[in-house]
Chain A
Amino acid sequence: METLHPRIRLLWIARGALAAVVLGVVLTAIDQWQVTVPVVAIGGVVALGLVTGTGYALRLYQVWQFELQDDALYLERGVVTFVETAVPFVRVQHVDTQFGPIERVLGLSSVVVYTAGSRNADVRIPGLTPERARTLQNTLRELAVESEADDAV
């Protein structure tokens, strides 16, 4: 089983921190215009948000794993709900590599695998180095072409 690049934790922690800050801003706004919210409460909520967010990010990194198996791409992920997904190569429609601005700064990239399924039609593997993302994309594409079925839909 392959794990993600450790730097993805920074991205996830930043995301959690952002959510905590937004929550803080909302509470401050309520304090200004609606009912008074004690400063301690706002600080406490933001701090709690930060701690939870960081803990969540670290745990998510711990559980996130994926593997190329004989017939399918296999992934394990999720903190609250742990999900094991198999995406058979025959069902892969196309594969993308993507990276947002923050991922670019961190030198990370994601691979997104699309199926014709209706829910969870796209499976994202975040936190890969650009080289790994490219090789994974190529491998998946080859495997998908190799095992191509005639009429999936």
Chain B
Amino acid sequence: MPSDANRLHPLSAVTLALQRGLTGLSMPFFVVMILSTIFDGVDIDWIFMLAPVGFVVGIGYGIAYYYRFTYAITSRTLDVTSGVFSRRSREIPYRRIQNVDVSQGVLYRIFGLAVVSLETAGGGETEATLNFVSEAEAERLRAEIRRQTARADDDDASSDERAASASGSASASGVDESTRHERSHPDRRPTLLFELEPTELLVYALTSFRWGAAVFPIALVIFLTSADSGSGLVPAFVLEIARPVGGPASLDGAAVGSLLVLIAVTALQWSVATYVASAIYTVANYYGFRLGRAGADFVYERGLIQRYSGSIPVDKVQSVTITENPLQRLVGYAGLWVETAGYGPESSGGSQSAIPLAETDRIYRFAENLTDVETPRFQRPPTLARRRYLVRYSAIAAIVVAVAFGLAQGTGLERWYLAVAVFVAVPLAAHLKYVNLGYHVGEEHLVIRSGFWNRRTTVIPYYRIQTVSTRRSIFQRRLGLASLAVDTASSRTFSWGTPTVPDLELETARELHGIGRERLQSAVRERARSDETGLSVDFT
């Protein structure tokens, strides 16, 4: 073991011991409880003897875990050794580290503690988590990893140029110097690239919808109604509010029409509550967002209560995505995301919001400066695609009407045929889907845009392509259409799906397929010569 092995913060020994102690304490309860129902010889009273033993063993285990957990920064790797009985020692090469994230909950902030997670591209989970170290140690680790990464890069024969191009104006020695400078002056802030202003935060909170926030109203209702029981499955206030507009007085024997009113009113309430919860969540998470530059890394920090910060190496960025929902488009704002292959906290993948929200022009300028892509001139798939969506949405509308009809048969719902009204929305939906499609075949990038509700414009450097697929469903084959899927290593595609240009003419799709492959090859060759990253840190 290296002599400069570090341990976690001493306080973590206390929390570990308490956690394991509680586990040890509770284990006998379950085991004895279960065993006593099976075997007659087992007495419930054993719990009182075994539980303290379990507690002590648990505490011992927690403390042993603390003493057996070490990490060390060596010249080439970050080593983490852990495990009480079965030991695991893991060496992570610096150049394989995707992003370093630091998160601090409320208590952590009070005591000056932080959790550090390191992401690499392999596997489905965080590569190493240091839970927890002191704030200063987290900062030191980050600076040290940055310094060592820059040094490891310098060891590469050709990496001088890379560092130079990655940092834009600064030369390779400049990068080294600035990081060294940073180390000797730990208070030095990284160069600020973007700061989220209060108005932008407000617009972001009001225009972004996080459906995950839908659980908050439910949790709140469960929490509040558990106090006054007897309201049954449906809380009384739900009925109360719906009654003036035609809701039922009680659920028993209510007419279908009034039940529908109740459902509609409740859904509306729920949406409003979700919207408010989502806005609060957004403010809490993105308050004080700042993006900066340190060496060849982006560094960000954000959060009101729980504080997040981290760094993203620029040459690990797989693709860049601009997101805009209809409301944001209306007020002329958009967001910018950079995606790496790492797996980050909050299951957001290696994707980090580079800029949560700013004026659309600014965002597009940032994206262009960052990736060096020319201003895209979007092309659209043939109008045949729109006909496809028309048919597709008509089928969905038909299903809605069929369901309404089915309900009418079972429950005596009157005027079920009013459901036919959904057909009115079909042409509009098909048109909106179609007009929001676009693709641009650039010199070094493919730009793909799609989606009405969550319009995403993704810039994919040909160099980042992993596989290219042309897909044709049976419906597409009849129309001579094909979709082109371009896969990258970005972990964001788990939730966003593989970037796809849908419903191109087969010939165009095949041509694009060929272009993607060809330009990947030439980019690889060019990269081997010059080792250029093609991304600029100094993008504002």
Contact = CB atoms under 8 A, between A and B. Distances in A.
Given A90-B524, A118-B494, A153-B316, A72 B517 contact: yes
A144 to B, nearest CB: 12
Contact of A116 (B121, B494, B513): B121
Contact of A90 (B95, B472, B520): B520
B315 A151 contact: yes
A150 B498 contact: no
Interface residues of A, number: 28
Interface string B388-418: 0000000000000000000000000000000
Contacts of A117: 466-467, 487-489
A51 to B, nearest CB: 18
Contacts of B498: 118-120
B521 A71 contact: yes
Interface string B479-515: 0000000011111111001100000000000000100
A91 B466 contact: yes
Given A81-B472, A90-B520, A117-B487, A150 B531 contact: yes
Interface string A66-104: 000001100000101111111110110000000000000
A85 B95 contact: no
A62 B249 CA distance: 64
B513 A84 contact: yes
A152 interface: yes
A139 interface: no
Nearest to B470: A84
Given A117-B487, A118-B493, A119-B487, A151 B95 contact: yes
A78 B315 CA distance: 36
Contacts of B7: none
A123 interface: yes
What is the interface of chain B mostly: helix, strand, loop, or mixed?
Answer: mixed
A71 B473 CA distance: 27
Contacts of B492: 118
A153 B318 contact: yes
What is the interface of chain A mostly: helix, strand, loop, or mixed?
Answer: loop
Nearest to B463: A149
Contacts of A119: 487, 493-494, 497-498
A1 to B, nearest CB: 15
B467 A91 contact: yes
B488 A88 contact: no
Given A119-B498, A149-B527, A83 B487 contact: no
A117 B490 CA distance: 7
Contacts of A88: 465-467, 517, 520-521
B222 to A, nearest CB: 33
A153 B520 contact: no
A95 to B, nearest CB: 14
Nearest to B521: A71
A86 B509 CA distance: 13
A116 B489 contact: yes
B88 interface: no
A72 B497 CA distance: 23
Contact of B488 (A83, A84, A86, A118): A118
A116 B466 contact: yes
A115 B334 CA distance: 32
A121 B493 CA distance: 12
A80 B470 CA distance: 14
A147 interface: yes
B468 A86 contact: yes
Contact of B469 (A84, A116, A118): A84
Contact of B473 (A81, A87, A120): A81
A84 B98 CA distance: 31
B341 interface: yes
Contacts of A115: 466-467, 487, 489
A153 B474 CA distance: 35
Most buried by B among A78, A91, A117, A153: A153
Interface in B431-480: 465-474, 477
A2 to B, nearest CB: 19
6 smallest beta-carbon distances between A and B, as pairs: A117-B466, A117-B487, A153-B121, A116-B489, A153-B341, A85-B469
Interface of A: 71-72, 78, 80-88, 90-91, 115-121, 123, 147, 149-153
18 contacts: A78-B471, A80-B473, A81-B472, A81-B473, A82-B471, A82-B472, A82-B477, A84-B513, A86-B469, A88-B521, A116-B489, A117-B487, A118-B488, A121-B487, A123-B467, A150-B527, A150-B531, A153-B341
Given A83-B471, A85-B469, 12 more contacts: A72-B517, A81-B471, A85-B467, A86-B468, A90-B520, A116-B121, A116-B466, A116-B489, A119-B494, A121-B487, A151-B95, A152-B489
